[in-house]
Structure formats: structure tokens, C-alpha cells
Amino acid sequence: MDYESGEILCFDKPLTWTSFNLVAKVRWALCRHLGVKKLKVGHAGTLDPLATGVLIVCTGKATKRIDELQAQTKEYVATLQLGSTTPSFDLEKDIDATYPTAHITRELIDQSLPRFMGRIEQVPPAFSAVKVDGKRAYKLARKGDHEEIEQLLKPKVLVIDELEVLGFDAEQMQLTIRVVCSKGTYIRALARDIGQALQSGAHLIALRRTRVGDVRVEQCRQLEDFITQIEKQTR
């Protein structure tokens, strides 16, 4: 493979890693393999540290295709904990409120989800990279009142093509869904909105990106295997 001229590599991002962590590891391994000090490497579509799955990494001149690649339709499998919320809408922050769930049934879920299909508006999370007055929202939220920051965020138009219930555990009040959506969709924010639609609360407890465009997670490399392969080629 000609990494300097440009290659597109697809990885299954590990849990707790940032997208930047994975890119840095790939860059380090490739620079060592090629015997160069610098190599342009970037990713198409950030994944939160608590999410796993498809992360497309571009090298060399292929980095010019990042905008094109991250604009592709994405698919996620997400598990929501109903009845409680966190400031970050996921497990990054501790639970800040709990709500009744006795009224939530599979029937109510099936009635509520269709409102999130098609072209919708979504307010991004306060703990996100969206900019507020030129500054990243998450930086402001960590310094002050996250609810105040969220009030300053403007809704964004996005498209949800498919929204399917994969499972509902009524005892644990956990809902697993499959989402096919456009660029810019925050699944954490979708969890928040579904919780509100169910007249309760919700936050994300697991998230896996299973597809970007035509690239499925089953086709993706494990970072450890890639580094081992590169190191063998370097010797």
C-alpha cells in the first residue's frame, strides 16, 4: 500500500479511545514503517470516547476526501437507559435526575419513535464540539452551567432514514435501537429526545457505529493487528 500517496483505512475504534488517539497511533506506526518524520493522517467523522465502531482514517493525499467520506450515511446501534439523565447524555457524567418509568411500554415506544423519522431538528449536546461564540461547547460546559450552554445552541436539521427497535428490557428499562442517519446526528441527543417523548428521561449507555457509507464494522481492522502487521514489515 502507498500510504504517502494516500490510502483509506477502516478501523474498529476501541472503547475509551478518542478518535484523535487512534489517528495518532496510526500515524506513529506508519512514520516508523516508512522511515519518515511526518505523514498527513486524518479521520472522517469523530466518534466519542465511549463509542466504538467504524472510524475511517485517511493518509497522504487521501485526506482530501475526508469531507466526502464523513458526509456519508451512518448506521449506529445504541442502548438507552430509560428513567434517568446525565449532563452529557451518556456515561461520561454521573446521573443528575431520575424519572418515573412505570408507564413505559413497548407499545408507547413504538408510538413515540416515528416522530424522529425523516427530516428533523435536533439541538446538539452541550458536551459536544459544536461552537458557541467561537468556542467549543464542551469547553464552556465544563467550566460552567451546561444547561445554560445548551440554551445557546441552535437546532440543526438532519435526516434519520431508519429507526428500529432491536430490543426492550422492561425490567432494566433499557432500550436498544438501530439508527440510520445523516452527518451531524448526535445519538446522545436522540437518546435525550426519546426520553422526553416517553415523558421520562434517558441517557446513552452503549453506542456502536456499525456502518459508514458502504463500509461495515465487520470489514474494519483492529488497531492492534494493524500495528503488528506494520511492525513486521518494518523489520
Q: Of 122, 118, 181, which Cα lies nearest the Cα of 153?
A: 122
Query: Which residues pair with residue 203 across a beta bridge?
Result: 81
Query: Which residues pair with residue 112 across a beta bridge?
Result: none
Q: Computed from CA positions of residues 186, 123, 120, 64, in that sequence, does the dihedral angle turn out positive or negative?
A: negative
* Interatomic CA distance for residues 51 and 146, integer angstroms: 21
Please tell me which residue in 12, 48, 90, 193 is annotated as part of the active site.
48
Judge contact between 86 and 29, C-beta under 8 A: no
Residue 38's Cβ-count burial label (10 Å; 0-12, 13-18, 19+) is exposed
Catalytic status, residue 110: no
The CA-to-CA distance between both ends of the chain, in Å, stands at 17
Judge contact between 81 and 29, C-beta under 8 A: no
Judge contact between 81 and 173, C-beta under 8 A: yes
Residues 6+ apart with CB under 8 A from 163: 113, 114, 116, 117, 177, 178, 179, 180
Q: Which residues are catalytic?
A: 48
